[in-house]
Structure 1
Amino acid sequence: MPVIDTIHDATIRAHATADTPHLATEKAIRALRATGYDNLRLDVDSANAIGWCFMKPVGKPSYTHELMDDISRMQSEITRSFAELPRSAAAPFSWFVMASDVPGIYNLGGDLGHFAERIRTRDLDAMRHYGHVAVKAIHRNAVAFDTPVVTMALVQGDALGGGFEHALSFDLIVAERSAKLGLPEILFNMFPGMGAYSFLSRRMDRDKAEALILSGRIHTAEELHAMGVVDILAEDGQGRQAVIDYVARHNRKHNAHHAMYRARRRVNPITLEELIDVVDIWAEAALNLTEADLRKMDRLCTAQNRRLAALDAPMHLLTAAE
């Protein structure tokens, strides 16, 4: 073979080798973008190294089985995409943000209609199953999908009950100033059993966490920021830009941020076993509810349905549950 051809082939091989990590990253990004979900919208902002996931539930913006299934598939796809990258390839993104496509609502929480039906039929196994599916997804959030990313919840609107618990499972909570977050379960004689106690008791002292849970109050993001629960307070309508600005300020120190959150998880671990045990306590307590308690749950469910029918109308949770 002529020398010039040998040099040409070597150059091609060198370029191919050099491009392989980049091509692998691009392939992973394309695969993530192409994955279809009925209740989620996933995109990758390569310029800012952010993976964006927006909840867009079919029907009520609560944690239905269908939404939870899509969240679980999305989490598994992210874990798989990162695991299959060659070591030399860059990650598809360094920061992950969970937000909502529903105007004024992050998520309204557990599927109350499903709960009421299962409680009335004394179906403890169904209650446990729902809770176990939910906390397995929450735990995967809490360990950042076993990937080298920093995770955030972007709350624009209401994050109630399980919606608040879901937001708490990320490394950081970014919330717009007037967003509403709270745990109204006490209004129908229950407690939030899918992560609230575990996460809040690690963000504030136990007494304050229990007082927040037992009050049933709905707080503004501004109030929760003052309590240390919300990490980043954004002006109304500026939540997405606040995330981008935060990432721009800290992207060069992503390694330090990621390592610190790993250390946090090691020092104050929230295990899947803990979350499942609390779910089982929650499910058993649910079967103790009286018909009067269940009627309050029904009224709250009706209020959620009205909110869905008119997303720009205020949702009077406390009034509806009295």
Structure 2
Amino acid sequence: MHLNQALRRRITSHTRDGGWEAAERALFGLRQLEVSWEAQTGTLWTFMRPHGRPSYNPAMLADFHAWQDGIQALFKGRESDIRYLVLGSRFPGVFNLGGDLDLFAEKIRQRDRETLVRYGRSCINILYRNMRALDLPMITIGLVQGDALGGGFESLLSFNVIVAERGVKFGLPETVFGLFPGMGAYSFLARRLGAARAEELIMSGRLCTAEEMYEMGIVHVLAEPGEGRQAVRSYIEKQSRRHGGHRAIYRAGRNVDPITLEELESIVEIWADAALELRDQDLKTMKRLVAAQDRLLGVPAVAAE
């Protein structure tokens, strides 16, 4: 969906030589991210439409970088226009299943540490910028209408608010194949739950329902199945008058025991070293998970509302 005319006129007045056109194409022409603007509430809605398995493939990561750059470019000088940023998924039954396991297995067999680190850094740079709300005066909302596993769960932890439909699953299954979630999970969970509970959740590899995540304080709003998007709308409508105060609270929270980019980068290095220690049987387990993800393909995407 293109920018509405009002926002387009505002952007044009702050750019030269048709600069808004390039920014618009960058943001609204992404291949694996469907973006739409809702001017009335100041909400930018985004839904993942993965090509292939519902995981963070390198091309999708490139789209996320372009998405973040595009948002900053479009709202430069008009920062107050954007109040909420929402990310969900069109893939039925899945928010995101995390890292590109097929790529991981290939690079581990090749002993290609550099590519593993580069992939990890790409992920945590996206996560870090999202955690900071792109330095814009907006509140970020993760909309979970399907399972969020591994990196899918990790990415959600960088949002201010998580809205999840009852029954969807959250989990960090990396220990099943001898690894650990190295792109933010430990940093976020340790600060929210304490190190002991974070380690227990990570090491167990168990799946938790949205209801359990709500009890832990990770999920903020529970919705009935199929009603997640309406729950986000209701949340925005209810909290709109408190937007400034809530945004300030989230900003303040980032200053209390802050998560730095350097911290996240150091953990990616540890993750890459651990990946290279995986045994052949671990890589076979990883491949079985890839096969399971492949079986999800061919299911029609969830239609836009």
TM-score in terms of structure 1 length? 0.85
Which piece of structure 1 moves more, 121-130 or 43-52? Answer: 43-52
Q: CA deviation at 1:225?
A: 0.6
Distance across 2 between alignment mates of 1:268 and 1:153: 22
Q: 1:125 to 1:242 in 2, by over 3 A?
A: same
Distance across 2 between alignment mates of 1:25 and 1:263: 30
Q: Letter of the aligned partner of 1:266 in structure 2?
A: N
Gaps of 5+ in 1: 1-19, 313-322
Q: Is the 8 A contact 1:160 1:181 kept in 2?
A: yes
Which residue in the other structure is 2:10 paired with? Answer: 24
Q: Is the 8 A contact 1:112 1:301 kept in 2?
A: yes
Which residue in the other structure is 2:54 paired with? Answer: 61
Q: 1:286 to 1:22 in 2, by over 3 A?
A: closer
* Paired residue total: 289
Q: Is the 8 A contact 2:187 2:259 kept in 1?
A: yes
Q: Is the 8 A contact 1:150 1:258 kept in 2?
A: yes
Q: Letter of the aligned partner of 2:214 in structure 1?
A: H
Gaps of 5+ in 2: 1-5, 15-19
RMSD between aligned alpha carbons? 2.1
Q: CA deviation at 1:205?
A: 1.5
Please state if 1:217 is matched with 2:203.
Answer: no
Please state if 1:99 is matched with 2:92.
Answer: no
Q: Letter of the aligned partner of 1:105 in structure 2?
A: V
Secondary structure at the aligned position of 2:140 is classed as strand
Secondary structure at the aligned position of 1:296 is classed as helix
Output one character per residue of 1:98-146: Cα deviation in whole Å (capped at 9) or x when no partner. Answer: 1011111111110000000000111000100100111101111110011
Output one character per residue of 1:231-273: Cα deviation in whole Å (capped at 9) or x when no partner. Answer: 1111111111111111111111111011110000011311111
Secondary structure at the aligned position of 1:269 is classed as coil
Output one character per residue of 1:41-73: Cα deviation in whole Å (capped at 9) or x when no partner. Answer: 111111222110111111111000000000110
Which residue in the other structure is 1:51 paired with? Answer: 44
Q: CA deviation at 1:311?
A: 7.3
Secondary structure at the aligned position of 1:293 is classed as helix
Q: Letter of the aligned partner of 1:48 in structure 2?
A: T
Q: CA deviation at 1:26?
A: 8.4
Distance across 1 between alignment mates of 2:13 and 2:190: 41
Which residue in the other structure is 2:32 paired with? Answer: 39
Q: CA deviation at 1:168?
A: 0.8
Distance across 1 between alignment mates of 2:164 and 2:13: 32
Secondary structure at the aligned position of 2:162 is classed as strand
TM-score in terms of structure 2 length? 0.90
Q: Given the alignment, which residue of 257, 262, 266 partners 2:255?
A: 266
Q: Letter of the aligned partner of 1:264 in structure 2?
A: G
Distance across 2 between alignment mates of 1:74 and 1:229: 25
Secondary structure at the aligned position of 1:106 is classed as strand
Distance across 1 between alignment mates of 2:228 and 2:7: 33
1:63-212 to 2 correspondence within 5 Å?
63-85=56-78, 91-212=80-201
